[in-house]
């Protein structure tokens, strides 16, 4: 089966004839043979062409993309040092799964996981802080979506094993996953693709995170019960850029597990915040320092500051992942290897780039960058509060995704987003999740390259756009 692509263009092929037809070679006259042939776009062309010509055609078509530096919609990193690019190029032909062929790359992968696991206090030993634990495991993967999936699959399988006798007597029992309403799409993919019952706590109308009170109520109403195989909490949610009440919820779950003997694990989705808080607020406890947190995912390609294509999953203890989920592979040369991952082959350069960032920046470098990003986000948030169209939703002293509610009375948030796009700024407009769907927000993700100066340029364009849209609305020109 071919890979399912997310673009609706692929799922519903509605190309017009004009777009389907072949491309005349723009640079045809400059080819050595002087021929002016047409190149089919959606079928493999009959003949070959010079690399320079192929490059030029594609390069020019890609110039229709928006500029990644102005992509304020996404958390994904868009810039790295030249040296990192150089290393990426040097590793571009290495498959990370080939441990025997590329043992040094495999070592860098291990070091990277060790660094991340320790950053998340996976080596924390509450019984004796002088003797750190070394039972944690983890792996790099394609992104946080794969990492979340690996975390939840392990918990689901563990629940099945732990409850096998009861499940034999109650064949109708279905595993359920408890999470707050502000979850990212990858959680939905998990509960649909892996057939589990989602138990989603709807957001409060004016609070867009999962609170300790919500969890207490869910326990009292048996929404969290013996079939709950995991509780998912988010550090920096997609919609409002806020953090669930992780520490307080951990205490409640600890008590519940002690009283019932259920052993429900907490998985932390730290895709957005996992590389920020360890540097900006190291004393905040949301990671493996909390007793019930069994797994954490992060996106290296967000604030880990590497190019797209890497996430990480870390488990507190090797026992969290049931043995039968590891697949042994013995046909790659070298000694047999155990693997837990959804993919097999994948690129290795992201791991190399992540390791590069760790040694290049160190703790001090990451802290500098993250403090700077938070300062910039805070500045932007404060400035946005001066516009009477907006109400600030996000907590920007913690997370750099600046989310503002838009007053829809004169013109829509989408209209403002479209106007900003005319100047190259890509800002998404969307409703908050259920229970708060009437609230329309704009989200601006501050990344390393979005400097104080760039923010001021953005604010100028925003101000001009608002003046124009207000003028149009007042003169009745709005369509
Ligand atoms: C909170 C959260 N979880 C999971 C994901 C999915 O991460 P990825 O795009 O790395 O697969 C995202 C992506 O933005 C996210 O914000």
CA–CA gap between residue 209 and residue 187 (Å, rounded):
16
CA of 302 to the centre of ligand 1 (A): 9
CA–CA gap between residue 26 and residue 42 (Å, rounded):
18
Question: What HEC string does 217-237 produce?
Answer: HHHHCCCCCCCEEEEEEEECC
Query: So what's the pLDDT on residue 339?
Result: 87
Q: Which of 132-136, 183-187, 411-415, 474-478 has the lowest mean pLDDT?
A: 474-478
Q: For strands 228-234 and 266-269, give the pairing.
A: parallel
Q: What is residue 137's three-state secondary structure?
A: strand
Is residue 309 within 8 A of residue 347, CB to CB? The reply is: yes
| Best residue among 140, 145, 233, 342 to mutate for probing ligand 1, ranked by most atoms within 8 Å of CB | 145
Nearest to 459 by CA among 377, 376, 384: 384
* Residue 366 clears pLDDT 90, i.e. is over it: yes
Q: Which residue has the tokens 């009477």?
A: 388
The architecture (CATH level 2) of 83-357 comes to 3-Layer(aba) Sandwich (3.40)
CB atoms within 10 A of CB 248: 13
CA of 270 to the centre of ligand 1 (A): 8
Q: Read off the pLDDT band of 108 (50, 70, 90).
A: very high
Question: The CATH number of 370-478 is which of 3.40.50.720, 3.30.70.260, 3.90.1150.160, 3.40.50.620?
Answer: 3.90.1150.160
Length of the chain: 479
Query: So what's the pLDDT on residue 256?
Result: 98
Tens-place pLDDT, residues 294-336: 999 999 999 999 999 999 999 999 999 999 999 888 776 777 7
Residue 30: CB partners within 8 Å, gap ≥ 6?
53
Query: So what's the pLDDT on residue 2?
Result: 40
Q: Is 370-478 the same fold as 83-357?
A: no
CA of 87 to the centre of ligand 1 (A): 26
Average of per-residue pLDDT values in the chain: 90
Q: Strands, E, within 52-173: which ranges?
A: 137-141
For the chain, give every domain's residue range. Answer: 19-65, 83-357, 370-478
Tens-place pLDDT, residues 1-45: 444 444 444 444 444 555 555 555 555 555 556 666 677 778 888
For residue 39, what are the β-bridge partners? 23
- Is the shortest distance between the CB of 234 and ligand 1 below 6 Å? yes
Is residue 199 within 8 A of residue 224, CB to CB? The reply is: yes
| Best residue among 76, 144, 272 to mutate for probing ligand 1, ranked by most atoms within 8 Å of CB | 144
- Is the shortest distance between the CB of 75 and ligand 1 below 6 Å? yes
Tens-place pLDDT, residues 184-208: 999 999 999 999 999 999 887 777 8
Q: Read off the pLDDT band of 238 (50, 70, 90).
A: confident
Query: So what's the pLDDT on residue 23?
Result: 57
- Is the shortest distance between the CB of 140 and ligand 1 below 6 Å? no
pTM recorded for the entire structure: 0.92
How large a percentage of the chain has pLDDT more than 70? Answer: 91
CB atoms within 10 A of CB 466: 19
Judge residue 408's burial from the number of C-beta atoms within 10 Å of its C-beta, 0-12 exposed, 13-18 middle, 19 or more buried.
middle
- Is the shortest distance between the CB of 311 and ligand 1 below 6 Å? yes
As a 3-state breakdown, the chain gives helix, strand, coil percent values, each rounded to 5, of 40, 15, 45
Mean pLDDT of 379-388: 95
- Is the shortest distance between the CB of 145 and ligand 1 below 6 Å? yes
Nearest to 317 by CA among 339, 288, 278: 288
Query: So what's the pLDDT on residue 16?
Result: 52
- Is the shortest distance between the CB of 241 and ligand 1 below 6 Å? no
* Residue 436 clears pLDDT 90, i.e. is over it: no
- Is the shortest distance between the CB of 350 and ligand 1 below 6 Å? no
Tens-place pLDDT, residues 446-472: 999 999 999 999 999 999 999 999 999
């Amino acid at each position: 089966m071919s890979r399912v692509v997310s673009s609706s263009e692929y799922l519903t092929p509605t190309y017009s004839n004009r777009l389907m037809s072949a491309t005349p070679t723009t640079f045809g006259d400059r080819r050595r043979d002087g021929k002016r042939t047409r190149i089919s776009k959606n079928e493999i062309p009959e003949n070959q062409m010079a690399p320079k010509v192929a490059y030029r055609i594609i390069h020019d078509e890609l110039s229709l993309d928006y500029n990644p530096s102005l992509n304020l919609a996404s958390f994904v990193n868009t810039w790295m040092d030249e040296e990192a690019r150089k290393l990426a190029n040097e590793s571009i032909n290495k498959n990370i799964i080939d441990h025997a062929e590329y043992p040094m790359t495999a070592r860098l992968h291990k070091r990277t996981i060790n660094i991340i696991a320790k950053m998340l206090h996976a080596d924390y030993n509450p019984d004796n802080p002088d003797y750190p634990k070394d039972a944690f495991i983890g792996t790099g993967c394609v992104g946080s979506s794969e990492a979340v999936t690996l975390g939840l699959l392990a918990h689901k399988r563990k629940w099945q094993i732990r409850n096998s006798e009861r499940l034999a007597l109650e064949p109708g029992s279905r595993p359920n996953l408890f999470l707050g309403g502000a979850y990212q799409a990858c959680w939905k993919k998990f509960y649909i693709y892996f057939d589990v019952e989602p138990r989603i706590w709807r957001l409060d109308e004016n609070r867009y995170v999962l609170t300790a009170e919500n969890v207490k109520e869910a326990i009292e109403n048996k929404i969290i019960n013996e079939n709950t195989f995991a509780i998912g909490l988010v550090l920096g949610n997609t919609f409002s850029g806020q953090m669930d009440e992780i520490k307080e919820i951990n205490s409640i779950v600890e008590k519940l597990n002690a009283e019932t003997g259920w052993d429900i694990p907490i998985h932390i989705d730290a895709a957005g915040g996992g590389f920020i808080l360890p540097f900006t607020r190291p004393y905040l406890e949301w990671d493996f320092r909390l007793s019930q947190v069994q797994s954490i995912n992060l996106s290296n390609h967000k604030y880990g500051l590497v190019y797209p294509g890497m996430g990480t999953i870390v488990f507190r203890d090797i026992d969290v992942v049931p043995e039968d989920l590891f697949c042994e592979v013995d046909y790659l040369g070298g000694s047999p290897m155990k693997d837990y991952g959804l993919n097999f082959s994948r690129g290795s350069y992201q791991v190399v780039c992540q390791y590069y960032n760790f040694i290049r920046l160190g703790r001090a470098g990451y802290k500098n960058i993250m403090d700077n990003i938070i300062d910039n986000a805070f500045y932007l948030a404060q400035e946005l509060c001066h516009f009477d169209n907006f109400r600030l939703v996000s907590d920007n002293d913690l997370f750099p995704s600046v989310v503002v509610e838009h007053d829809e009375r004169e013109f829509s948030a989408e209209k403002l987003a479209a106007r900003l796009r005319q100047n190259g700024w890509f800002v998404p407009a969307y409703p908050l999740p259920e229970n708060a769907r009437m609230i329309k927000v704009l989200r601006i993700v501050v990344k390393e390259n979005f400097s104080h100066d760039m923010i001021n340029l953005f604010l100028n364009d925003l101000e001009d756009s608002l003046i124009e849209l207000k003028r149009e609305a007042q003169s009745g020109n709005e369509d």
